[in-house]
Structure 1
Amino acid sequence: MEKGRLGFRGRGDHVKRFLQLLFSRLTFVAFFMALQIGAIVAMLTYFRSRYADFYTLFTIIGAIAVIYILNQEENPAYKIAWIIPILVLPIFGIPLYFLFGKSRLPKSLRMRMSHIQSKYDVAYENVDSCLEALKEIDPAAARQAEYLESAALAPIFQHSETEYFPLGDDMFPRMLAELRKAERFIFLEYFIIAPGEMWDTILAILEEKAAAGVDVRVIYDDIGSILTLPKNYYRQLEAKGIQSHAFHRFQPALNGNFNNRDHRKICVVDGNVAFTGGINLADEYINVKERFGHWLDCGVMVRGDAAYSFTVMFLSMWDYICRTDDDFSRYLPDAGAIADAKDDGFVQPYSDTPTDDETVGEIAYLNMINRAEHSIYICTPYFVIDNEIMTALTTAAKCGVDVRIITPGIPDKWYVYAVTRSYYESLVNAGVRIYEYTPGFIHSKTCVCDNKVAICGTINFDYRSMYLHHECAAWMYKSKAVHQMYDHFFEILEKCTEVTPEMCARRGWPLRFLQSLLRVFAPMM
């Protein structure tokens, strides 16, 4: 009897999810976008008698567009992915590229963001970078930090302690404990927020703190949360006394703004403590809800001076969205509250933005990989890389560096998974060891080199993270979290299956063809 009841409930859940999707904002937006696409097709059909003339015109425009694309400062693979549809189907390829293919934000938004970023200099006027101290200890590591300080305006700190959480299940209780201590402000910025045990518990604390006079603010990405939150959810939060905004609200119109998302995960409490990593505010991230098997994700907590950088990241994004002008100096850490913070190595939080031509996220990874002497250990849910990353990894392996990569055993997106696996053969043949996390989906974004330096944050090894999204991470040198990440990597390996050359060779030609085709368009994924 119980079995039958459970089975019926399962079918009911499927019906419920279908109805939620049917009446969701995503369906609404998709419907109106389909109408616009239909209008374009109808117009082209109406002029079918002049199709030859139109085709010739668009072919000429396509040639001009290709020349334009080739002269853009973008990744060559990204250019090729768009040049092919423009040349093959110019009538559709050209408008699609100018709507969705341009990786840079519109000029007006770039101007707004550049103005906000200029506030970084003001925010860090009274902050002493510890770069010179690192140069005396390890000049090679200092060069990595110097790049981030120069390109991402990210000072490096001491007097900051770190703690690594190998699972969202572990980080969640610590987040709650810190949120309950808040006296001045709470800043949350997340790609996905979904009602459930995790978010509902956090929301109750936020309401309580807002009622007590704490400055509580929430930013969520409108597309990231399009299937989980109702339209204008920020108004519901405002009604509870919580200041909130949606990043780049998704409108039912054909435009390229939704290509650049806020993929960051930031939680700051009183400027003294900050959390980041791959963990969003949804139940699958703490394994209360099962999706794609066991969900392995991680995060890092920073306590001390370095937490201020996450405060600056949040406030800069808040001012960008709201067109406000916060005084960042009001949100400096409380010196008394962090007086007991240990000098736990060096910590350098940094952000990456698509508003400039600097691919900070990718170059930070490349700097680590190219300077590794003994080991490179990477965890990533998506592995859709360009030639620079591929060359760096294979060269390191050929030079005798122990290069290992862990990817999901159960994917969340089959097409990205197919592209990820298309890189295996070349990597394995070069000496890179690849593992798949057998119990489920790994969403961690970490890179540890030589058990000395590490990055933990939101930046995937894919084009979207490195070229299109707003991202953040923490670069760390010989801190507690670095060694915890190193040890945990080997714990994960015990639950993984290693990819062998024989496994790669057994791929049939249909799969190889599909992977090759998808790989051409990988930069669009």
Structure 2
Amino acid sequence: MIIIFADLIEFANDFIVPIIYFINMLFALTVVFIERKSPTATTAWLMALFLLPVIGFILYLFVGQSFHRDRMFRVKKEYDEAMTNLIESQKKDLFSHQIPQLHTVSDAYKRMMLMLMESNRAIVTTDNAVRIFTDGNDKFAALLEAIRKAEDHIHLEYYILKDDEIGREVFSALTERAKAGVTVRFLGDGLGAAGPKRSFFAPYLEAGGELAFFFPSLLHIRHPRINYRNHRKIAVIDGKIGFIGGFNIGDDYLSRVPEWAPWRDTAVMVEGHAVSSMQIRFILDWNYASKGELIEFSPRYFPGSNDSAERLLPMQVVSGGPDTYWNPIKESYLKLISLATESVYIQTPYFIPDESIMDALRMAALSGIDVRIMMPSKPDHFFVYWAGYSYIAQLLDAGVRAYTYDHGFIHAKTIVVDEAAASVGSANWDVRSFRLNFETNAIMYDHQIAMVLKEKYRLDLDVCTELTPERLAALPWMIKLKQSVSRLFSPLL
């Protein structure tokens, strides 16, 4: 037995390892000359491929490759011209007082609106009413109520779907409405929503519900990868009510899993024309992912909303992903930070910023802005968690204040600037959300909403522990080693 084992090791050294090195060389040439990743990501990949050849080979095979990206998303890009004429019209009206609801919005924030129109075709809507959720039980109660009252169509798009109590409850409600003749479509991610078995969907499909999955997962034979995930969480009911935020569909998001309870997240329910922007996003994603009939931009999906004095909230729905030339999600974060005059409050479960985000936060803090970052006190992804600590340590020296949320798990992806604007959505503060995942955020230019979110942030501080330089310096050497190694490979995460 020992002889056989020794022969296998010799065979691996003589044949398999050289082959892996040769393939890694080809991967390295691809990274440098074809994919042209950022210098930081390129350096990290070259180190992984040559210093850890076997691990680097596996990582690149499942995570790194992107040289088919243009071909993969060519079909999707063909749909993304739908808003061009409307955007051109809004750009002319933005500074000409043609949109009276924007009288409370400063010219600086109007410049931000213009930027997002140019880079993301993000139309400005001003007749919106918003309800904020920070507890999954409240959010799903509202979503289920809206589903059960649906009369024409239901469009759900979620990164994660689990076969558990809330997953079954949601699909039971969807199945009931499908039986009643309502058009029901569910779009899940090919990795995050791959858990439920075929039997889970059988009653729903038999009732006439439609189902699609966005992009094959790492288990797919032809294209094994975990990148390019549809991380969005969007629900549109009858084109009139929309939900967007950080909650997926699973019991843990309702604090029913003791390991993560209580779960702290943020989402909003929207009524108004911003729902049309969410609807467009769903249709574009469905038409790319679905193998059935494409959804046409029919008036039934865009019924509009009744004018109401209570609906005066200006909003843009901003989407980003590897199919966008720029990074509109990251750019919106950068712009919000740059517009701050008093405070920047950030909540995120994952904090792996690039240099531009680091510089913006550092400069804001050095300018006397109250910059605060809140992240979980326990990891659900160890490498990402410890890498985040290393970036936080660097920002503390500039005056940024950071906190760990000790009351369960915080999954919210928010930024509140002064008492003027806020963003709530699916995008984390990490390179994956900026470059590799499909994300959607709602940016609200409203004093009242910003005040509410800021107050919720301050209440969260009561169950947080501040990360001080002294606290970080006192960490065991093993933890510091984890931070260093995790940061080294953070461009790959």
Report the TM-score, using the length of structure 2 for normalisation.
0.88
C-alpha spacing 1:503/1:434, structure 2 compared with 1 (3 Å) = same
- Alpha carbons 1:62, 1:87 under 8 Å: kept: no
C-alpha spacing 1:114/1:55, structure 2 compared with 1 (3 Å) = closer
Partner residue in 2 for 1:241: 208
C-alpha spacing 1:138/1:58, structure 2 compared with 1 (3 Å) = same
- Name the SS of the counterpart of 1:141 in structure 2: helix
* 1:5-43 superposed Cα distances (whole Å, 9 cap, x missing partner): xxxxxxxxxxxxxxxxxxxxxxxxxxxxxxxxxxxxx99
Equivalent in 114, 117, 120 of residue 146 of structure 1: 114
- Alpha carbons 2:61, 2:225 under 8 Å: kept: no
Partner residue in 2 for 1:204: 172
After superposing the two structures, state which structure 1 stretch, 52-61 or 440-449, moved more.
52-61
1:97 and 2:60 aligned: yes
Structure-to-structure mapping, 1:290-369, within 5 angstroms? 290-322=258-290, 324-335=293-304, 338-340=306-308, 342-369=310-337
Partner residue in 1 for 2:382: 414
After superposing the two structures, state which structure 1 stretch, 290-299 or 427-436, moved more.
290-299
For 2:33, the aligned partner's letter is: Y
Partner residue in 2 for 1:229: 196
Equivalent in 219, 243, 252 of residue 275 of structure 1: 243
After superposing the two structures, state which structure 1 stretch, 419-428 or 341-350, moved more.
341-350
Name the CA distance, whole Å, in 2 between partners of 1:275 and 1:50. Answer: 54
Partner residue in 1 for 2:50: 87
Name the CA distance, whole Å, in 2 between partners of 1:106 and 1:275. Answer: 29
- Name the SS of the counterpart of 1:85 in structure 2: helix
The structural deviation recorded for 1:279 is 0.4
Name the CA distance, whole Å, in 2 between partners of 1:104 and 1:169. Answer: 42
Partner residue in 2 for 1:448: 416
For 1:465, the aligned partner's letter is: S
C-alpha spacing 1:418/1:60, structure 2 compared with 1 (3 Å) = closer
C-alpha spacing 1:232/1:468, structure 2 compared with 1 (3 Å) = farther
C-alpha spacing 1:196/1:360, structure 2 compared with 1 (3 Å) = same
- Alpha carbons 1:448, 1:485 under 8 Å: kept: yes
The structural deviation recorded for 1:292 is 2.2
Name the CA distance, whole Å, in 1 between partners of 2:433 and 2:199. Answer: 26
- Name the SS of the counterpart of 1:259 in structure 2: coil
1:474 and 2:442 aligned: yes
- Show structure 1 runs of 5+ residues with no match: 1-41
Report the TM-score, using the length of structure 1 for normalisation.
0.83
For 1:97, the aligned partner's letter is: Y
Name the CA distance, whole Å, in 2 between partners of 1:139 and 1:111. Answer: 36
The structural deviation recorded for 1:465 is 1.0
For 2:50, the aligned partner's letter is: L
After superposing the two structures, state which structure 1 stretch, 86-95 or 480-489, moved more.
86-95
Equivalent in 80, 83, 101 of residue 117 of structure 1: 80
Name the CA distance, whole Å, in 1 between partners of 2:8 and 2:332. Answer: 47
The structural deviation recorded for 1:452 is 0.5
- Name the SS of the counterpart of 2:322 in structure 1: coil
C-alpha spacing 1:501/1:232, structure 2 compared with 1 (3 Å) = same
For 1:229, the aligned partner's letter is: P
Name the CA distance, whole Å, in 1 between partners of 2:207 and 2:285. Answer: 22
Identical-residue share of aligned pairs (%): 31
Name the CA distance, whole Å, in 1 between partners of 2:378 and 2:109. Answer: 35
For 2:182, the aligned partner's letter is: V
The structural deviation recorded for 1:295 is 0.8
- Name the SS of the counterpart of 1:328 in structure 2: coil
Equivalent in 107, 124, 137 of residue 70 of structure 2: 107
Name the CA distance, whole Å, in 1 between partners of 2:352 and 2:286. Answer: 30
Name the CA distance, whole Å, in 1 between partners of 2:379 and 2:233. Answer: 21
The structural deviation recorded for 1:99 is 5.5
- Alpha carbons 2:174, 2:204 under 8 Å: kept: no
Name the CA distance, whole Å, in 1 between partners of 2:133 and 2:282. Answer: 22
For 1:230, the aligned partner's letter is: K
1:68 and 2:33 aligned: yes
After superposing the two structures, state which structure 1 stretch, 271-280 or 320-329, moved more.
320-329
1:506 and 2:471 aligned: no
- Alpha carbons 1:77, 1:386 under 8 Å: kept: no
Name the CA distance, whole Å, in 2 between partners of 1:202 and 1:507. Answer: 43
Name the CA distance, whole Å, in 2 between partners of 1:358 and 1:393. Answer: 20
RMSD (Å) for aligned C-alpha atoms: 2.9
C-alpha spacing 1:47/1:328, structure 2 compared with 1 (3 Å) = same
Partner residue in 1 for 2:160: 192
The structural deviation recorded for 1:46 is 5.7
The structural deviation recorded for 1:265 is 0.2
- Name the SS of the counterpart of 2:479 in structure 1: helix
The structural deviation recorded for 1:135 is 8.3
Name the CA distance, whole Å, in 2 between partners of 1:104 and 1:363. Answer: 24
For 1:82, the aligned partner's letter is: W
C-alpha spacing 1:507/1:177, structure 2 compared with 1 (3 Å) = same
1:485 and 2:453 aligned: yes
C-alpha spacing 1:310/1:341, structure 2 compared with 1 (3 Å) = farther
Name the CA distance, whole Å, in 1 between partners of 2:89 and 2:178. Answer: 29
- Name the SS of the counterpart of 1:502 in structure 2: helix
1:371 and 2:334 aligned: no
C-alpha spacing 1:215/1:311, structure 2 compared with 1 (3 Å) = same
Name the CA distance, whole Å, in 2 between partners of 1:299 and 1:269. Answer: 16
- Alpha carbons 1:275, 1:299 under 8 Å: kept: yes
- Alpha carbons 1:445, 1:457 under 8 Å: kept: yes
Name the CA distance, whole Å, in 1 between partners of 2:249 and 2:54. Answer: 42
The structural deviation recorded for 1:186 is 0.6
1:174 and 2:142 aligned: yes
The structural deviation recorded for 1:270 is 0.9
The structural deviation recorded for 1:385 is 1.4
C-alpha spacing 1:66/1:118, structure 2 compared with 1 (3 Å) = closer
The structural deviation recorded for 1:202 is 2.1
- Show structure 2 runs of 5+ residues with no match: 1-6
- Alpha carbons 1:279, 1:299 under 8 Å: kept: yes
The structural deviation recorded for 1:509 is 3.4
Equivalent in 394, 402, 418 of residue 370 of structure 2: 402
Partner residue in 1 for 2:3: none
C-alpha spacing 1:62/1:349, structure 2 compared with 1 (3 Å) = closer
